[in-house]
Amino acid sequence: TKASIAGIIDTLKSNATVANRDYVVGVPAIYMSHVKEALPESVHVAAQNCYKVSKGAFTGETSADMIKDINCDWVILGHSERRHVFGESDQLIADKVEYALNTGLKVVYCIGEKLEERESDNTMNVLSRQMQAVTGKVSSDKWADVVIA
């Protein structure tokens, strides 16, 4: 709700270190404009997802063009909930990363393993697989616009 977001906005606005650093805050799509207008320019607003194409019959999805249209310049892709709850594959996420970057967004690309993968010493295989999915999709001049999380 806007009320729950208000405390975070107040903290970011009152913190003196905000002016000296870059912050990116991931926000549900419905609140992105509200948060963008309320925060200092040094705090960037990220969408929590976007789809891999700009138009089509994708009810409920947000395109990178829509994100840019409200002056937001970041998107979070590959978060564990998107991978495990919604079943997004490495390939789909890589396609989203490619589209977002080519549209001019910066990307927080989330990688990581599930608990059982960690416990079975499979962490490096999972991380490697997730990184390999995007390496062919991100041109060398675009890596500066990607944060690996």
- The pTM for the full model equals 0.90
pLDDT of 132 higher than 80 = yes
Looking at residue 19, what DSSP letter applies?
A: G
The full set of domain ranges for the chain reads 2-148
Beta strands in the chain (DSSP E): 23-27, 43-47, 74-77, 106-109, 146-148
Q: Taking phi first (over 0 means left), then psi (-120 to 50 degrees means alpha), and beta for anything else, what does residue 50 get?
A: beta
Q: Sign of the CA dihedral 60, 66, 71, 72?
A: positive
The pLDDT tens digits for 80-101 are 999 999 999 999 999 999 999 9
CATH class name, domain 2-148: alpha beta
Rounded CA gap, 35 and 47, in Å? 11
Q: What is the tens place of the pLDDT at every residue in 3-34?
A: 888 888 888 777 666 666 778 999 999 999 99
